[in-house]
Structure 1
């Protein structure tokens, strides 16, 4: 077998996408990239030799916005940006973004780059990098988490382990396991390292022929993916202690839309209030090409079919979300909707992915 040719390893490529990390002043507002990036590069260069950081270069990114404003088209933008750099034989990247949708973007990139040997580390901060009390020069805020997060992310990327990871608060996890658990604490995220797909679908080092084949497959679909991103939709229906007719009417309102993703956020292990009308609507959603995924409102544990209050839905073509987080379910739905044009193919790929993760609920 032909051996893999090493990709360019001299530098970590850094992508700045906005967020709290680059905010400054009173009130806080993002600095323009033309101003902020030279400051950040200078701060990196000035660090003590005793704690060296990897050399960095910059990927030119024109999409800098608050992460709460990101859309599927924006997610595709970052996918294309990284894909182009990876095609140009770069492999190690750090992406700085806002924390509101950091877990969603990270999980999406994990789905999109499965099967490659790319190394992407996503990070951000809960406080800005720069001290807004110092107006005469730009200096690192010693009370911020930004510099530590960036330093750890750069070192992690320099190590070059294949996959997409999130690095935050002194820890790192496979991106598709990560969720935000606190709105302002430095330990804002958590995750785990027990994930299967797509973490185990990354290749340590791809032979040239396999990398080229992977790239050709991806680039052949880029135009379609970009076009679908303009209309694709993933909806979340949050179950509350209401009459089932409320949930049914919410679901009914989505039936006439083009095939989309629908996340049912159930109680506990995915329990839903039952009604014959809701069961019929779930079947109609399947017949119309929608993918309905069962998820739990609980941050940990996922869904199961142990309770009759939840197991009934799987008889009406609802797909179990397993132990996936809400962000990971959104990301997988989004990627499948972008990547495949046939509802049957999307469901087939979902079943394969969940089986790889070791958690699946079979239709009875």
Structure 2
């Protein structure tokens, strides 16, 4: 039976033309794209609510995309392919994975080179766009329910995706789709109030550099002048950082002012390990510890917590859900 796939175009290098590259308007690009689609799928093309350079995407853009997907699910679509720019492709995938759980078959893809030539009249002589798209379509039709990233003949769990190279065709790494990966089991139906609340979501990620604790304290004091909703501290190694009583007191004060404090590691793979004595203060101060699959996944979890709970104390209660 022919699989019915909703193909949603959200912009990115995939749909760019000209020199220097600039996006072709979606109403002109999609008809050209349709001529290159395989005929063994029933593919319906849609324009995403927000089409932009992916480096300009924010949480509300991905929630609008989620809302579109969830509306299409009501029309009995179960298989989706999303064309998205590569700069924040991992973030888009992580947000979709956190909010959709395993309610559909969703595959995100993009490209390092445009689909069309400079004039936009024909397919480009050298491009990874058509291969990535065909692989994404095949994956959406055959992979188990979940959210994945398809790129350079690799299918990985979207929540684990990490962009490893700025320009190479083999640009992403992550946990292969064939390997089991724990997922958020609680989908969230996106409503207008979620989208509106997401517009003001302020999440700061502080990647520590070797510096004296006094300097870290000064940086945290600057952040404390206007606390964000979430402060992600990227520690060293397994999530370690050197602190003093003044730093701990300031972090606790930030929590009391509604800022969730989350400890993670700046190391791409391996995760956080709190077995060292130097990290005992994290437990004592009730700092949240990340066990997410990637930095983008941690961002997605923080966003979801922000939309579900108004107080940082509620994050403590539900962090392990």
The two structures have a TM-score, normalised by structure 1, of 0.81
Match of 2:5 among 12, 20, 40: 12
Match of 1:70 among 43, 54, 57: 57
Change (3 A) 1:23 1:311: farther
**2:142 alignment partner in structure 1:** 159
**1:90 alignment partner in structure 2:** 77
Aligned to 1:59, the other structure's residue is in SS state: strand
Residue 194 of structure 1, CA deviation: 4.0
1:297 counterpart = 2:266: yes
**1:187 alignment partner in structure 2:** 170
Change (3 A) 1:53 1:278: farther
**2:122 alignment partner in structure 1:** 138
**1:281 alignment partner in structure 2:** 250
The alignment yields a C-alpha RMSD, in angstroms, of 2.2
Instruction: Return the alpha-carbon distance in structure 2 between the equivalents of residues 108 and 136 of structure 1.
Output: 32
1:334 counterpart = 2:303: yes
**2:23 alignment partner in structure 1:** 30
Change (3 A) 1:82 1:347: farther
Residue 83 of structure 1, CA deviation: 1.4
Residue 311 of structure 1, CA deviation: 4.1
Instruction: Return the alpha-carbon distance in structure 2 between the equivalents of residues 69 and 246 of structure 1.
Output: 31
Residue 323 of structure 1, CA deviation: 5.2
Instruction: Return the alpha-carbon distance in structure 2 between the equivalents of residues 24 and 161 of structure 1.
Output: 35
Deviations 1:1-60 (A, max 9, x none): xxxxxxx9742101111111111121111111111111110111xx5xxxx542210223
Residue 93 of structure 1, CA deviation: 0.6
Instruction: Return the alpha-carbon distance in structure 2 between the equivalents of residues 120 and 271 of structure 1.
Output: 36
- Indicate conservation of the 8 Å contact 1:300/1:323, yes or no: no
Instruction: Return the alpha-carbon distance in structure 1 between the equivalents of residues 193 and 217 of structure 2.
Output: 33
Match of 1:228 among 197, 201, 215: 197
- Indicate conservation of the 8 Å contact 1:53/1:155, yes or no: no
Aligned to 1:272, the other structure's residue is in SS state: coil
**1:218 alignment partner in structure 2:** 189
Aligned to 2:36, the other structure's residue is in SS state: helix
Aligned to 2:47, the other structure's residue is in SS state: coil
**2:157 alignment partner in structure 1:** 174
Name structure 1 gaps, 5 residues minimum: 1-7, 203-213, 353-364
- Indicate conservation of the 8 Å contact 1:255/1:288, yes or no: no
Residue 124 of structure 1, CA deviation: 0.5
Residue 87 of structure 1, CA deviation: 2.2
1:250 counterpart = 2:216: no
Residue 228 of structure 1, CA deviation: 0.8
Instruction: Return the alpha-carbon distance in structure 2 between the equivalents of residues 31 and 265 of structure 1.
Output: 38
Change (3 A) 1:275 1:158: same
Name structure 2 gaps, 5 residues minimum: none
**2:131 alignment partner in structure 1:** 148
Residue 328 of structure 1, CA deviation: 0.8
Deviations 1:177-219 (A, max 9, x none): 1111111111111111342122xx38xxxxxxxxxxx7xx726
Instruction: Return the alpha-carbon distance in structure 2 between the equivalents of residues 301 and 165 of structure 1.
Output: 20
Change (3 A) 1:259 1:239: closer
Instruction: Return the alpha-carbon distance in structure 1 between the equivalents of residues 115 and 94 of structure 2.
Output: 25
Aligned to 1:351, the other structure's residue is in SS state: coil
Residue 88 of structure 1, CA deviation: 2.3
Change (3 A) 1:330 1:136: closer
- Indicate conservation of the 8 Å contact 2:2/2:42, yes or no: no
Change (3 A) 1:11 1:194: closer
Instruction: Return the alpha-carbon distance in structure 2 between the equivalents of residues 136 and 91 of structure 1.
Output: 31
